[in-house]
Structure 1
Amino acid sequence: MLEEQRDVVIHWPDEFDEAKRAELRGVVLAYNDALTELEAGPAAVFASDGERNGVFHGFLKLWDKAWSKPGPCMHMGCTSTSIPRSHTISLGTSIRLIAEKGHVLTPRYGEDGIDLIDIGVRDASTFPGFCDAHEQLFSGFESQKAMTQADHFRLQIFRTICREIHSKRHQRQKAEAMLAEYWRRRDAYILQKINAAAGGPQAFDVSGLKFENDEMETKLVNHLAGIQADLPELEGLYASVLDEIQNGGDKAAMTVINFDFQLPVCLSGFGVLNYRETAAGPVQRAMCMLAILPEEGCTKLLLAAAKEHERAIGLHASDRRDLTFGWLIALDRGRRSSTHSISR
């Protein structure tokens, strides 16, 4: 039997008599209203804009604090605890060089996108990466304030990869927590609607609700899937570069470009290079480690990827004008790199 009310068609089970249908009609309509409001915008789960903003900023504060929480040293096999602030970009060689009054500008995600915020040089580009002992791996080029040997560049790429792995793991935990909180609020919102229609705060219980085409859920699930897809490739590149550092050989592709002028920008992060070997060939995807490192009177650009992408990144790096312009556009948009320091 079909019944229409307020343009809603209710398909009742045949075993529901008229009395049961009358009892549940308001609940079903309230459930439909809740779904309609959620489809109009996920913000419906919040009682007000003030509550939504409070939850958002509280969440950012919580996870910003978690970012610097010490954990296991990221050097393979080490069981020591990391320091809270390992620099991805050399403090003495590059960051201080572009700072003004001990500060630089760095991107941070906010509710309206990416903002540039003022940050002290001791906090710029940091993550809880290495223990005190493994921090000394980088002391050779940091003390001389210049990268001059192949091992220096390998070590720089290595700590860039380590930071990206830490970042991806942090993003995964953050997205999982956001998804769980959204599910909790969505279920509570629907439960409140149907119980209000039923006339009591505990008339019904709801659990295990599943939805299709929920915009917020889809966005978070896709974000998690992207993180999960990137992590194995990053971890494979980590293993290759560390093996090269420890045992020599040529396990990863790396290009270093020197410019005889000093850019007022530091960058360390990753980007994706999509390319074809032939015009009709399949699209290849190379996850690339990127770095822009100013030194006194010059700037060094680093590009590294898995060994199988060596030819592609070599060709990409051969056009220096295109390469530099592309990286700076990426920096400006905040889409490719994860650690920046920008002079004002």
Structure 2
Amino acid sequence: MNTNNDEREFIKASNEVIDEFFKGNIRVFHDKSEFKKFWYKSKNEIDEHHFCMFPDCNQKAIKRSHTIQAEGPLNCVAENRHVLQPVFRDGFIILEKQGLEKKASVFPGYCKQHEKVFEFEKNKKLTSKKDYKLQIFRTICKEIYIVKRNLSLDRNRLNSYIKMQNKIFSEKILEKMHLKALNTEEFKVSKVETEEIQWIQRSLNSEEKHLELLESFYKNSINDLESKDSENLEYLVFRNEEIQLPVCLAGVAIAGGRRVGEKKYRNVPLILNVLPYDGGTDLVIATFKDNKDMVDAYTQQYFQNMNTHLEFLSIVETWMINGVDFWFLKPSIWENKDLKKQKNIIKKMNQLKYGIFTPYNGSIFDDLRKQIIIQVKMNLANGEYKGIEKIVKGYLKKEEKKLYR
């Protein structure tokens, strides 16, 4: 095929095939369900050999660095050394049992030498500012690993889809030209920007943008670990020494909101941790310095009004549903719920509709919530909450309603 007539025939056949494609007569996938199967069954070709995520280290990472201490917070919520974690299966979130040693919170993060930097790993809880900085650092590293893995998977999806598209288009062009073979070096089949390609490209763009954010967090976190005089990130720790939550969490959430007096809506990226220990729980928030005022306003809403401990439950449940899906729950908390309530919680998680500045209006920790409500009612009867009794009573009614959603 090297004549002008052949070239004109090829162009004509290509245009006809593309027209038929947009009319719906030719499809790579017959329906959206086929595309979903392709999407969720695509294989990840990311290199299994990972290098240590500490700067300037070229040593291979061990396979199982923990994001959260196995003998600390994870062990606090485990039953028979297992926890429940949200995972995606065929496009939907389900809760799956994970073992502490091999799966729960692990990723290929650091070499053997740099693993030793996390001196608190065998401790029950974090005790120093350095501990919290290191915990934030490895939360960032885990997020970077996940995003890079997702980017690799999306690129593989895009390449696989284009190959499938080219194969179908080439076959249809051959049919129209009454040929048995096509010299692809001489005549290239154009990539058609299909809805599926646009979907994959949007996913790629989103992951690349998120990676830029995480790399900025990483750079600032490293600076804070190395510098004794300055901090680039803001670190907030809220310790509750009375409530031990049956969940631990570590991840990045994007909250949306406006500053007082501003019309512009802005995204506020936050690194979040929930770290229970024997008898209590730490909530840790880290963000860029210029977001401090918005984070202060957000936390005051929960922690500086009534302090009934119900606020503590609400903020964590909201992080779990509207913020971060990298959390680990005590199995019996889930197993003791009826199927309807389980489905409602999963449905809320799958919606991906709200951020953490929008409170979750249901209940995950039912038994704990009931205990706290009883205690708050006793405190009210004993004359506590003077001057805000009506506010507390109204708040209790809202909290009781959550139990039935």
Q: 2:163 aligned with 1:184, yes or no?
A: yes
Q: 1:56 to 1:273 in 2, by over 3 A?
A: closer
Selected match of 1:264 from 246, 251, 258 = 246
- Deviation, 1:135, is 0.9
Selected match of 1:75 from 47, 54, 59 = 54
Separation (CA, whole Å) in 1 of partners of 2:39 and 2:64:
25
Give the corresponding residue for 2:30. Answer: 44
Code of the residue aligned with 1:156 in structure 2: it is Q
Q: 2:190 aligned with 1:209, yes or no?
A: yes
Q: 2:194 aligned with 1:221, yes or no?
A: no
Selected match of 1:154 from 119, 122, 133 = 133
Give the corresponding residue for 2:98. Answer: 119
Preserved CA contact (<8 Å) 1:80 1:131: yes
Gapped runs of 5+ residues in structure 2? Answer: 303-309, 332-405
- Deviation, 1:27, is 7.1
TM-score normalised by structure 2 residue count: 0.69
Separation (CA, whole Å) in 2 of partners of 1:216 and 1:323:
42
- Deviation, 1:247, is 1.6
Selected match of 1:303 from 264, 285, 292 = 285
Separation (CA, whole Å) in 2 of partners of 1:164 and 1:24:
46
- Deviation, 1:207, is 3.1
Partner deviation per Cα, 1:105-154 (whole Å, 9 max, x = no partner): 22222223222222211111111111111111212x23331112111111
Partner deviation per Cα, 1:293-322 (whole Å, 9 max, x = no partner): 111121111111111111211221222366
Q: 1:103 to 1:241 in 2, by over 3 A?
A: same
Separation (CA, whole Å) in 1 of partners of 2:312 and 2:234:
16
Give the corresponding residue for 2:270. Answer: 288
Give the corresponding residue for 2:320. Answer: 331
Code of the residue aligned with 1:180 in structure 2: it is N
Separation (CA, whole Å) in 2 of partners of 1:311 and 1:317:
10
Q: 1:28 to 1:71 in 2, by over 3 A?
A: closer
Q: 1:143 to 1:200 in 2, by over 3 A?
A: same
- Deviation, 1:194, is 2.6
Preserved CA contact (<8 Å) 2:250 2:327: yes
Separation (CA, whole Å) in 1 of partners of 2:49 and 2:104:
17
Separation (CA, whole Å) in 2 of partners of 1:92 and 1:222:
40
- Deviation, 1:337, is 2.1
Preserved CA contact (<8 Å) 1:317 1:323: no
Code of the residue aligned with 2:233 in structure 1: it is A
Separation (CA, whole Å) in 1 of partners of 2:175 and 2:125:
68
- Deviation, 1:156, is 0.5
Separation (CA, whole Å) in 1 of partners of 2:255 and 2:84:
27
Code of the residue aligned with 1:59 in structure 2: it is S
Q: 1:143 to 1:30 in 2, by over 3 A?
A: closer
Q: 1:326 to 1:160 in 2, by over 3 A?
A: same
Q: 2:297 aligned with 1:315, yes or no?
A: yes
Code of the residue aligned with 2:62 in structure 1: it is I
Separation (CA, whole Å) in 2 of partners of 1:208 and 1:24:
10
Separation (CA, whole Å) in 1 of partners of 2:12 and 2:189:
22
Q: 2:108 aligned with 1:128, yes or no?
A: yes
Give the corresponding residue for 1:231. Answer: 211
Q: 1:312 to 1:151 in 2, by over 3 A?
A: same
Paired residue total: 314
- Deviation, 1:256, is 1.0
Preserved CA contact (<8 Å) 1:105 1:343: yes
SS at the partner of 2:274? strand
Give the corresponding residue for 1:97. Answer: 76
Separation (CA, whole Å) in 1 of partners of 2:279 and 2:152:
41
SS at the partner of 2:24? helix
Partner deviation per Cα, 1:31-79 (whole Å, 9 max, x = no partner): 433333388x752399x95x984x556524x46xx58x34121111222
Q: 2:88 aligned with 1:109, yes or no?
A: yes
TM-score normalised by structure 1 residue count: 0.80
Moved over 4 A (4+): 23-31, 55-58, 203-206, 321-324
Selected match of 1:341 from 306, 309, 328 = 328
Preserved CA contact (<8 Å) 1:316 1:323: no
- Deviation, 1:193, is 2.3
Identity of aligned residues (%): 23
Preserved CA contact (<8 Å) 2:118 2:134: yes
Separation (CA, whole Å) in 2 of partners of 1:154 and 1:164:
16
Separation (CA, whole Å) in 2 of partners of 1:84 and 1:278:
46
Q: Which moved more, 1:314-323 or 1:235-244?
A: 314-323
Give the corresponding residue for 1:11. Answer: none
Give the corresponding residue for 1:168. Answer: 147
Selected match of 1:245 from 225, 246, 250 = 225
- Deviation, 1:26, is 7.5
Code of the residue aligned with 2:224 in structure 1: it is E
Gapped runs of 5+ residues in structure 1? Answer: 1-14
Give the corresponding residue for 2:355. Answer: none
Give the corresponding residue for 1:4. Answer: none
Q: Which one has the bigger strand percentage? A: 1
